[in-house]
Amino acid sequence: MNYEEKIIEYPPVHPGTDRTFIRFYEGEPNPKAMLLGGCDEMPQRVFVTDTTVSSLPCMDEFTAEFGTGKGAAANSVHKRRSGKDILVILGAGEPFKTIESVLSIVAAALDANGQRSTVFVGIGGGVITDMTAFAASIFKRGARCELVPTTLLSMVDAAVGGKTGCDFGSYKNMIGSFFPAQKIHICPEFIKTLPQSEYRSGLAEVVKTALLFSAPLFDKLESNPGILDGRGKSEFAPLISEMIRTCVSEKASVVEQDLTEKGMRMLLNLGHTFGHALETCAGLGKVAHGDGVAWGMARAADLSERLGLCTKEYAERVKRMLRSYTWETSEIHPAMEGKGSAGDIARTIFGAMKKDKKNSSSKVRFVLQRGVCDTVITEADEGDVLAVLGAER
């Protein structure tokens, strides 16, 4: 059949989203100085945070500007004493990453007479930064967005790269958009108040980035496992700051080349195919995301070795490093024990991988490695995957 085709082209719809300024701050976080300074001519801001972050001591002066403070209720909206800015406080954590939370940000902005020039500023972990950026992207067809990541994971991963969204029922991140922030304010010292489990979760993404893109960072992490319990120690401060900067710039360079995940951005899924499947099969909340990713990196190392991509020494090096950070590397994760025979468990996890949204065909694709900074994306036979999941035990 013949056909004629006409192409119509547009300038970028959101001129402000074609570049991101990333600011690194030193010292104690001071959100008031960071965000509320400046001239009276500032555009209106819709600040969004959660109940936990709004109660951090470093937020006191900031929240006081809005006539609120510790113990503010979830889903409360506060108007700044001077000017037109508002502060929306949502519930904390993944259960609140809902379309209702996103709509409550939109509703608060509408009530405050927000415009397309309004800047939505998310202050929090990945849940808050993902939802704030999503709300900005749909508000009046696209307002502006700035992010202040306060967890290690959101600094090194979630806030960088323009993926926004929320969960839908039990489906994670199923609603969303690509909408890069105009500015990201990174203050490493926010991580000092994080619960250890959240810090550890972020560290898994740091290790992933080092394996993918930075041999020097991997070497340093390998020789400094004390960083796991060393957040408060001044000896680790330079390494923590360096690891955050390295991860941010490596992720930034990936998304600069592939914002919408058509190619090299997929590399960032190292450990995630196995990890997500484990999280799903173990039952909601049983395995922390970072722990799943770390275990997934160990499984990816074993699969790489099995397929002849890397040496046994390399796979052992990766697993030894992960174990030194107390992550599980065995074929069958303890969270799956009691869920059937080794073969049953392996098949359950493999089944979950096949359902993952990132697998377009029935074959499962894996991010595997020949060595540090030498990564390939490839499919693998079911038998090989089952073997590294312990089916042959």
Ligand X SMILES: NC(=O)c1ccc[n+]([C@@H]2O[C@H](COP(=O)([O-])OP(=O)(O)OC[C@H]3O[C@@H](n4cnc5c(N)ncnc54)[C@H](O)[C@@H]3O)[C@@H](O)[C@H]2O)c1
Residue ranges that bind ligand X, judged by CB under 6 A:
50, 52-53, 56, 92-94, 97, 124-128, 130, 150-151, 153-154, 157-158, 161, 163, 173, 190, 193-194, 198, 201
Smallest distance from the beta carbon of 89 to ligand X, in angstroms?
11
Smallest distance from the beta carbon of 58 to ligand X, in angstroms?
8
> Catalytic pick from 78, 289, 306, 319?
289
Based on the number of CB atoms within 10 Å of its own CB, is 60 exposed (0-12), middle (13-18) or buried (19 or more)? middle
Which of residues 151 and 375 has its CB atom nearest to ligand X in the complex? 151
Which of residues 16 and 188 has its CB atom nearest to ligand X in the complex? 188
Query: CB–CB of 50/63 below 8 Å?
Result: no
Q: Is 75 a catalytic residue?
A: no
d(CA 125, CA 108) in angstroms, rounded, equals 20
Smallest distance from the beta carbon of 178 to ligand X, in angstroms?
10
d(CA 174, CA 372) in angstroms, rounded, equals 32
Which of residues 130 and 222 has its CB atom nearest to ligand X in the complex? 130
Q: Is 141 a catalytic residue?
A: yes
d(CA 9, CA 360) in angstroms, rounded, equals 28
What region, left, alpha or beta, does residue 190 occupy, with left being phi > 0 and alpha being psi -120 to 50 degrees? alpha
Which of residues 277 and 315 has its CB atom nearest to ligand X in the complex? 277
Smallest distance from the beta carbon of 193 to ligand X, in angstroms?
4
The sign of the torsion formed by the CA atoms of 16, 244, 152, 175 equals positive
Give residue for tokens 């958009």: 177
> Catalytic pick from 276, 299, 306, 333?
276
Q: Is 333 a catalytic residue?
A: no
Q: Is 14 a catalytic residue?
A: no
Pairing of β 374-379 and β 365-371? antiparallel
Q: Is 78 a catalytic residue?
A: no
Query: CB–CB of 265/256 below 8 Å?
Result: no
Which of residues 114 and 124 has its CB atom nearest to ligand X in the complex? 124
Q: Is 379 a catalytic residue?
A: no
> Catalytic pick from 116, 172, 192, 265?
265
Which residues are designated catalytic?
A: 141, 163, 205, 251, 261, 265, 269, 272, 276, 289
